Amino acid sequence: MKDQELVTLRAVNRPPEGPIRPILLKLGNKMNLYRPLLDKETEGKVIIGIFTMFTTDFTEILYDQGRKKVQLMPLIDHQSKYCPGFALGSTATSEAAAKALTNAGEGVRHLGYQLEGAIVHHDQGSAYISYEWLCQVLICHNMKLSYALRGAKDNPAMESFNGRFKKENRDLFWECQTREEVTLVVRARIKYYNEKRRHSSIGNVSPLDYIKKYGKRR
């Protein structure tokens, strides 16, 4: 995100954040754009394009023999399973979320795509109902928001990724002594996940190979 855009956001009078969650609850299922698309995809009524729907969530990573922890927020493309970006934060903040989204934008642009018009689906955690996050998603990136109403049950793909990613790399994280080392491990393992690891759900190929084979530039 450009520096001048950050300055502009900080200069805007921020409305109170308190009413956002009650509004989401009042709107109910209308705020979950993810589930209806999945149902239509299952019925063969729609094909969800590459980089048109993302899922995300924060997950806690323990490192330095379990003495320290950090929050990881990756974004995963629904169709290709590709992770275009992530961010780490001491806590699950809107700043970390905004950084992850910015990194994801750079990641998809590198492949010839854009975030504009895409859906990002997540829970109702405090970072995701903050003014900063709504402004990033809706204004800066011109994306659409989708909220899980039942927590992990409404975001199973993301829960599965986070759980598997932490389990497979637990020993590597355990040996890291600094957050910088954790960042290097996460970056290397996501690179492997994107470029080398085969996924049965996309024809037993890697996410990058899937994009190269089936992707179309928007």
Residue 203 CA to residue 192 CA, distance in Å, equals 17
Residue 136 CA to residue 9 CA, distance in Å, equals 9
In what helix (H) or strand (E) does residue 23 lie, and over which residues does it extend?
A: helix 20-27
Residue 3 lies in a domain: no
Residue 14 lies in a domain: no
Residue 173's pLDDT is what?
98
Residue 217's pLDDT is what?
46
Q: Which residues of the chain have pLDDT under 70?
A: 1-18, 23, 25-28, 151-152, 217-218
pTM: 0.86
For 102-134, give one letter per residue: b (16+ CB within 10 A) or e. bbbbebbeebebbbeebbbbbbbbebbbbebbb
Residue 43's pLDDT is what?
87
3-state secondary structure of 85: strand
Please tell me the total count of domains within the chain: 1
Residue 6 lies in a domain: no
Residue 1 lies in a domain: no
Structural domain of 71: 19-211
39-68 pLDDT, tens digit per residue, is 898 888 888 999 999 999 999 999 999 999
Residue 140 lies in a domain: yes
Residue 180 CA to residue 200 CA, distance in Å, equals 32
- Output DSSP code: residue 186: H
- CATH classification of the domain holding 116: 3.30.420.10
Residue 10's pLDDT is what?
42
Residue 2 lies in a domain: no
Listed in sequence order, the residues at least 6 apart from 88 whose beta carbon sits closer than 8 Å to its beta carbon are 61, 70, 71, 72, 73, 96, 179, 182, 183, 186
Residue 11's pLDDT is what?
42
Which pair of tokens denotes residue 171?
């020993």
Cα dihedral 65, 86, 84, 14 in deg (nearest 10):
170
Sequence-ordered strand ranges (E) for 48-157: 53-56, 59-63, 68-77, 85-89, 119-122, 144-147
Residue 152's pLDDT is what?
66
Listed in sequence order, the residues at least 6 apart from 38 whose beta carbon sits closer than 8 Å to its beta carbon are none
Would you say 135 and 23 are in contact if contact means Cβ atoms under 8 Å apart?
A: no
